[in-house]
Amino acid sequence: MKFSLTWLKDHLDTDASPAEIAAALNRIGLEVEGMEDPAERLAGFRIARVLTAAPHPDADKLQVLTVDTGEGDPLQVVCGAPNARAGMKGVLGLPGAVVPANGMELRKSAIRGVESNGMMCSVRELELGDEHDGIIELPDDAPVGTGFAEYHGASPVFDVAITPNRPDCMGVYGIARDLAAAGIGTLKPLPVPQFAVSGACPVEIRTDDAQGCPAFYGRTIKGVTNGSAPEWMQQRLISAGQRPISALVDITNYVMLAYGRPAHAYDTAKLTGAVVARRAADGETVLALNEKTYTLTPEMTVIADDHGVHDIAGIMGGEDSGCSDNTSEVLLEVAYFDPERIGATGRALGLTSDARGRFERGVDPAFLDDGLAILTGLILDICGGEASEPVHAGAPPTERKTVNYTPCLAETLGGVAIAEDEQRATLASLGFEVADDWTVTVPTWRPDVDGAPDIVEEVVRIHGLDSIQSVPLARKDGVALPTATPQQVLERRLRRAAAARGLNEAVTWSFLPTADASHFAQEGQPLWVLDNPISEDMKAMRPSLLPGLLSAARRNLDRGADGLRLFEVGRRYFRNADGSSDERLTLGVILAGDKSPRSWAQTVNGGKSAAFDAYDAKAEAMALLAEAGAPVDKLQVMGDAGDQFHPGQSGTLRLGPKNVLARFGALHPLTLAAFDVAGPVVAVELFLDAIPGKKGAASFARPAYSPPALQSVMRDFAFLVPASLPAGDLLRVVKGADKANIVDARIFDDFRGAGVPEGSKSIALEVTLQPGDKTYKDEDLKAITDKVVTAAAKLGAELRG
């Protein structure tokens, strides 16, 4: 539900800021989904006076205006509005302003050869209504030079999500009541007007469906003039997302949005005989205000006269009896409809409306008289006329519920201790009546309150839902402690990390055909072959996760998949030389097909799709190892990934020469041929059992973040190194050259060409230095540079001149 701050202040006397009101609404359970300030959209628009208006020299329908903006010299503006004339005051959009209706930014431009310094605006262009026949005309006392937002009184608009159990907050007055109870201002008295009546109602009103329509109140008003609603009402409706239509229609919409009380006005000239709430006849039809015809059933309540149906009761009025510009006498309907009947009818017809949303939640049955009086008073004030005496057909269910309540329940059920006096005051401010024995009488506008827990909810939310502390439940005897092992925790973390990187988890068989298993068997570790397999094709236990993932990739590629990113966390199985079994936790990844689809943006590939390469596999390996807790900064990249991998496009990640944590790269063409997979395909295999464990509980805690006091320093180095030297080796020795000062280093260039000797390459690094308690001096930087150069020289690197 949307409403403006101005509208809220009609019912709530408060000095709170919009931010404070929004925070209070959230605190008491009325979630603010959004808040916007129309004044921001009207920035750049100001009140201006037209000094002169002359015909455009090259356009019959345009005029050239000189406009006084209240600052500096008058501006020249080209305008096509027929009502633009000298002496009038309007709204000028200056260059740089953005027109709310279409998002166009105004600029100084030439229109048919004549310079224009902005735009005189219409109502529609500023989204203040639908009028667009001419520009806005302001009163003579409008102050020239004043921002239009300030003059217009643009007010922040709240968008509040009302839960289905709070029909009392389907009107601005109900929200104001809740805010007043929360201490955000004082609720103003309900403005029920007093007025004279001219005699008995000339139209018979009755209800023949006591179940569907227990009460039907109404009266006629003759001598009305149905023009436009006043500006203040239109602005309130616009803030709620309603389009102003006419005074009579706008007034009924205003009462519904302000007080949560749907109502309807019929043109009495279009009625015949008595107006009755009754059941619809089977197959009876009605043309609704949305210009659709609905076929009704006997389970539906309607408002009808002798001629036929004029209203789907509580949901939508009919087109035939609606008010028009020529309406001079109206019949007002303020009724109470059964919420269940309204909901069933709306669902059966597939028809939603603001009225249905309120009636099926349950409107206040005791608000019929006051609602009719407020509606009548607004029509008399705005449209004129004489009101008849009211007609009361039937009686609404106004019996109030009582609840036996105990104040201690606020703590036992709500989790927060609230003083009894505060609870009494809260309930009283919400309209509840509390007896000395804590018997609580529920107000008629709260059909959602049935028992003591509902009372707890009321006192706790007004006290502040944010006051409830999160307290863990005590662990009862016999309740098991968490039993996940560190290895199980690692598996879960890696699954989440892999999925977050866009990989899709696959679960493949632990059994393989002997040929597939043999292809990935490791030297010195015989296959674990079952003596009694479930199938000859599932005889060997897998020595790697990659065969199963390759088979899954083949099936998907054969069925038209463009690109595959598969991973699996599982175990490899081996039989040791002594005959014992061995299981090792592993993570496998397969990247096959297209890395990205063909596109004009693929300039490197001539618009063709890009394939995965060994660097993609390395990136996945490094990221997942980091998530597993491996010291990735200390890893060495070496060759010998295995016969299953392409020897020139693969490698291993190791801690030292023997501890292999992962292997990655492009699979060998013979491997792809053995599994009948079209390449290229890259793969990763992480040996999680090889990751060293943490050396104590203290290492599990992340150190507190302590930002350095001094700014870091960047230094670039370019080294000539043998072409066969892995760049990662150079990066590692540079990082370790001075651990006290070097906090990071990265390679930003690898050049081979003119100026670089044959058999060499130029590697450029950016080294980040972090001073400690004092800034570096020239001699400090020279000493660090010497350490870097010396460390690099151990690998045969030479600093380029």
- Give the C-alpha separation, 737 to 783, whole Å: 11
| Inter-CA distances, 132 with 120, 125, 136, 317, Å | 12, 8, 9, 29
- Give the C-alpha separation, 614 to 596, whole Å: 15
- Give the C-alpha separation, 422 to 428, whole Å: 10
Cα 67 from chain centroid?
44
Query: Which residues, other chains included, contact 375 with Cβ-Cβ below 8 Å and sequence gap of 6+?
Result: 251, 252, 255, 261, 263, 332, 334
Q: Are 762 and 720 in contact (CB under 8 A)?
A: yes
Question: For residue 597, is the peptide bond before it cis, meaning its omega torsion is within 30 degrees of 0?
Answer: no
- Give the C-alpha separation, 717 to 787, whole Å: 12
- Give the C-alpha separation, 29 to 33, whole Å: 12
Which residue type, as a one-letter code, is found at position 482?
P
- Give the C-alpha separation, 674 to 679, whole Å: 12
- Give the C-alpha separation, 242 to 392, whole Å: 30
Q: Is 494 helix (H, G, I), strand (E, B) or coil?
A: helix
Q: Is 353 helix (H, G, I), strand (E, B) or coil?
A: coil
Query: Which residues, other chains included, contact 99 with Cβ-Cβ below 8 Å and sequence gap of 6+?
Result: 93, 105, 106, 119, 121, 125, 126
Token pair 């006269």 is found at: 305
| Inter-CA distances, 217 with 318, 328, 357, 450, 683, Å | 19, 21, 20, 28, 77
| Sign, CA torsion 81/83/86/87 | negative
- Closest to 91 (Cα-Cα) out of 124, 115, 59, 53: 124
Helices 18-27 and 172-181 pack at an angle, to 10 degrees, of 80
Q: Is 691 helix (H, G, I), strand (E, B) or coil?
A: coil
As a whole number of angstroms, the longest Cα–Cα distance in the chain is 112
Q: Is 454 one of the annotated binding-site residues?
A: yes
Phi, psi of 218 (to 5 degrees): -170, 175
DSSP per residue over 388-456, as a string? ---EEEE----PPPEEE--TTHHHHTTSS---HHHHHHHHHHTT-EE-TT-EEEPPTT-TT--SHHHHH
Q: DSSP character for 524?
A: T
Q: Are strands 301-304 and 275-279 parallel, antiparallel or unpaired?
A: antiparallel
How buried is residue 513: exposed, middle or buried, by Cβ count under 10 Å (0-12/13-18/19+)? middle
Helix (H) or strand (E) holding 617: helix 614-628
- Give the C-alpha separation, 262 to 787, whole Å: 82
Instruction: Return the bridge partners of 220, or none.
Output: 331
- Give the C-alpha separation, 60 to 77, whole Å: 16
* Tokens found for residue 16: 């709170």
Q: Is 583 one of the annotated binding-site residues?
A: no
Residue numbers belonging to the annotated binding site? 448, 454, 457-458
Residue numbers belonging to the annotated binding site for Mg(2+)? 448, 454, 457-458
